[in-house]
Amino acid sequence: MTDHKYRCTACGYVYEPDAGDSPSGIEPGTPFEKLPDDWTCPVCGVGKDFFVPVIEEA
């Protein structure tokens, strides 16, 4: 599960663990679950609780 992408339900941004979020100091390779609790969507500012896992079709 740790390499899952997560989508922001407010604005549609997708957090990709491989890319991280460098403007917020998040290293590439950081799983969503390891993001700090106060991390917010880099696009729209809502909290982690507004993110849902991206279900990828096989």
Partner 1 sequence: MQPIELKEGIYWVGAIDWELRNFHGYLTPRGSTYNAYLIIDEKITLIDTVKHHLYEEMIARIAQIIDPAQINYLVSSHVEMDHSGGIPRLAEVAKNITIVTSSRGETGLKNHYGQKWSFQVVKSGEVLPIGKRSLKFIHTPMVHWPDNMVGYLSAEKILFTSDAFGQHLASAERFDDELPRDIVMEEAKRYYANIVLPHSSQVIKAMQAVSGLEVELIAPSHGLIWRSRIPEIMAAYREWAANRTTETAVIVWDSMWGSTAKIARALQTAFENKGIRARMLPLGVNHISDVMTEVLTARYICVGSPTLNNGMLPTVSSFLTYLKGLAPKERVGLAFGSYGWGGQSISQVEEVLRSCGFELLDKIKVQYVPDQNTLQKITDNLQAKLP
The nearest distance, CB 52 to partner 1, in angstroms, is 11
CB of 11 or CB of 19, closer to partner 1: 11
Whether 22 and 7 have beta carbons less than 8 Å apart is answered as: no
Nearer to partner 1, 12 or 31 (CB): 12
Q: Which residues bind partner 1 (CB under 8 A)?
A: 9-11, 40-41, 43-47, 50
Buried-state track 20-55, b at ≥16 Cβ within 10 A, e below 16: bbeeeebeeebebeebeeebbbeeeeeebebbeeee
Please state the closest distance from residue 38 (CB atom) to partner 1, in A.
11
